[in-house]
Amino acid sequence: MSQTSPNLSLLQLAALVGGQFPFVGDPRTSELGELLISGVAGASEAGPTDVTFLGNAKYLPALKHSKAGAALVPLDFDEAASPLLIRVGNPSLEFAKLVAYFAPTPIEWEPGIHPTAVLGSGVILGENVSVQPYAVLEPDVCVGAGTVIGSHSYLGHGARLGADCFLHPRVVVGERCLVGDRVILHSGVVLGSDGFGFENVEGRHVKIAQVGIVQVDDDVEIGANTTVDRARFGRTWIQEGTKIDNLVQIAHNVIVGRHSLLVAQAGISGSTKLGDRVTLAGQVGVVGHIEIGSNVVVGAQSGVSKSLEPSALYMGTPAVPAAEYREQVAYIRRLHKLVDRVSKLEQALRSR
């Protein structure tokens, strides 16, 4: 609980999230509308002065036995539960408002250049830029207004960052790479490492020059220790609004469409193109030189070996439409029965 955020009564809390309270059918609500809520917690950990939420049906058993004082639930929720219930349109989204309300006061970064930072010639900084200790900005770097450059971060020659970006400590933006407005790069992100390009000449791997750039558009967020390789030529391009988790590898000349989601440990090989609103779940691997259509979801640990048509769910290795994958799994789980049947048939044939 934040020491600066006052407690909320249930009536105040419901008003903050636009929820329905008193909850129809719960006789307790008329008496307890003034119950004070002082923090947020998951259903299993919450106490009598906490509010929790139901964002996924699999947590319903935990909610029913939760010690929370109140819970945000969907509008059509009709189960009995221990906490006092507040109906909302989107429990997860509205709960985020409460998390922000009770959270500690956000850290504010003082504009200016720390004395230990190193700035090359021709660096251009917009208004209210904050350059933290030991950051290095090479010559001809340009940084937009309100951007924060975290400690020990490195911006290569001629790199461009837009306004209101936040670079956590130890971020690398390579030379000539372009970053839009309101981009968040978490610790360990590397934009513009060399693409993995080699040619085999007489049994030796000869490096192919990687002279392109990485372009990251507005409102992208990239998680810790994710790498985006520069293009062999042209650009590796992460388009507007895409969110990338930790430990993701994006190879040279890949294009990721707008508002896509790439989950932890996904890897995309070179020159592959993803459409808009594509989701790659955890540990998905994608081969190079293919296209994945818009609105595709690829299930966790799948391997994508060919282009995928838009607006579908794919699973498995190699990835196939979800219905086909489930059928394959069902057959595999019955293989032992098939083996038994074949064995019995063989015995019957030998006994003749």
Q: Is 252 a catalytic residue?
A: yes
The pairs formed by 248-256 with CB atoms below 8 angstroms and a separation of 24 or more are 248/222, 248/223, 250/226, 251/195, 251/196, 251/288, 252/195, 252/196, 252/197, 252/210, 252/212, 253/195, 253/212
Both tokens of 277, joined, read: 């609103």
For the chain, counts of helices (H) and of strands (E): 6, 39
d(CA 38, CA 18): 18
d(CA 114, CA 101): 31
d(CA 182, CA 164): 5
| b (16+ CB within 10 A) / e for 145-157 | ebbbbbbbbbbbe
Angle CA 337–339–344, to nearest 5 = 95
Among the listed residues 252, 259, 289, 336, the single catalytic one is: 252
User: Could you list the active site residues?
Assistant: 252
